[in-house]
Chain A
Amino acid sequence: MKLNERSLAFYATCDSPADNAGFLYKRGERHTAYHRRWFVLKGNMLFYFEERDSREPVGVIVLEGCNVELCDSAEGFAFAIRFGGTKSRTYVLAAESQAAMESWVKSLSRASFDYMRLVVRELEKQLQEMRRGLAGGCGGSREAAGPWKPKPSGLEQSQERLPALPAILPKENGCAVWNNVLGADRPPGSSGCGGHDEEASPRPPPLPPRRRVSNGEAASAGAAVAGSPSTFCRLHEQYSREVARLRQDWQQRQRGPRP
């Protein structure tokens, strides 16, 4: 499958700050030898380079629909990125210290676009409720929709001009669904067309792209998961249980085998 590799490589090496970076050992696919590589996490993309100053990455792992877990293996500080699906590969990585491993597992666990989207939706909802509360009724307050232009990705423009949230539901774009950590089976969105036209109303705020959920279609568990307020709390409970379990594992390993 073709990919815009040059753009990918540029994204990997440009000066936008990384969410994590450092040396990790990566186990080979066919041979189990580990190779030391320089890893750079940007958004939901985990790039790896032969050397820290290599001009382009050797490879990239797209962190959607995966689980990050500790390894049972004897190798110190090892963890795995596991993808679902029969043909998918598991990436086994090892850090050089306990602290590095913890830091990587934490940042990789929350690197997916889906996770970000959940957080954004939750905050959006909170803000919407707050504003509705302030206005004392439905409709909410709305600042005059100034000449706000949707910003092209990656280009620097003043952020401070983002308008207030509208009272109407935002437009949803059609998008196919990617398997995600929550495991819900979702129907694919259609391509090529978005939701109904809302050109008549003031421009919507910078909301993240959404799956199509309209008029009863796509009424799956997945759709419910994305929408409900308790979902986010559940998700975090899930994460905190996972982190607690990992922490327990690490501590046990520190103590060594029981006498």
Chain B
Amino acid sequence: AVLKKRLVKLVVNFLFYFRTDEAEPIGALLLERCRITKEEENVFSISFIEEPERKYCFECATEEQCQEWVEALKRASYEFLRRSLIFYRNEIQKMTGKDPLEQYGISEEARFQLGAHRQ
């Protein structure tokens, strides 16, 4: 496989990639239901649950950079954010006995419900 140099940008739960001299992205990967794997030195891959053999590989300039990308991408999904929210909400409720979302009037929102989104 040939490695091509790309500018890569993580924006919300999308990973955009660009040719280095272009302003418009060539493509994007939606980072839901995916697995981020550290491969050999400086390399990580992204694969999706429904097609685990197909890996999108990225080679970084340094191992440090590679680790940073792996950490960032593992937390990039909306579902991860949702789980964090539910976790914090639960922790705060345990400590204070109050639902922290109540003051914002969003405690009944479907997307914030505990246990509703286990995958």
- Residue numbers of A with Cβ under 8 A of B are 1-4, 6-8, 10-11, 14, 16-17, 19-20, 43-45, 62, 64, 106-107, 110-114, 116-117, 119-120, 123-124, 126-127, 130, 150-156, 159, 162, 171, 173-178, 188-189, 191-195, 197, 199, 206-209, 232, 236, 240
Contact = CB atoms under 8 A, between A and B. Distances in A.
Interface centre among A19, A64, A110 (most CB of B within 10 A): A19
B57 interface: no
Nearest to B58: A192
A193 to B, nearest CB: 6
16 contacts: A3-B27, A6-B51, A7-B29, A10-B48, A44-B12, A110-B106, A111-B111, A114-B12, A119-B104, A120-B81, A153-B33, A155-B119, A194-B69, A195-B68, A236-B104, A240-B105
Interface string B62-79: 001101110110111111
B117 interface: yes
Interface of B: 7-14, 16, 24-37, 48-51, 60-61, 64-65, 67-69, 71-72, 74-85, 87-89, 91-92, 95-96, 100-101, 104-106, 109-111, 116-119
A154 B28 contact: no
A16 B117 contact: yes
A153 B30 contact: no
B16 A173 contact: no
A156 B8 contact: no
B79 A177 contact: no
Contact of A156 (B87, B96, B118): B118
Given A153-B31, A154-B77, A113 B65 contact: no
Contacts of A111: 111
Nearest to B117: A17
A206 B10 contact: no
Nearest to B34: A153
A43 B32 contact: yes
A154 B49 contact: yes
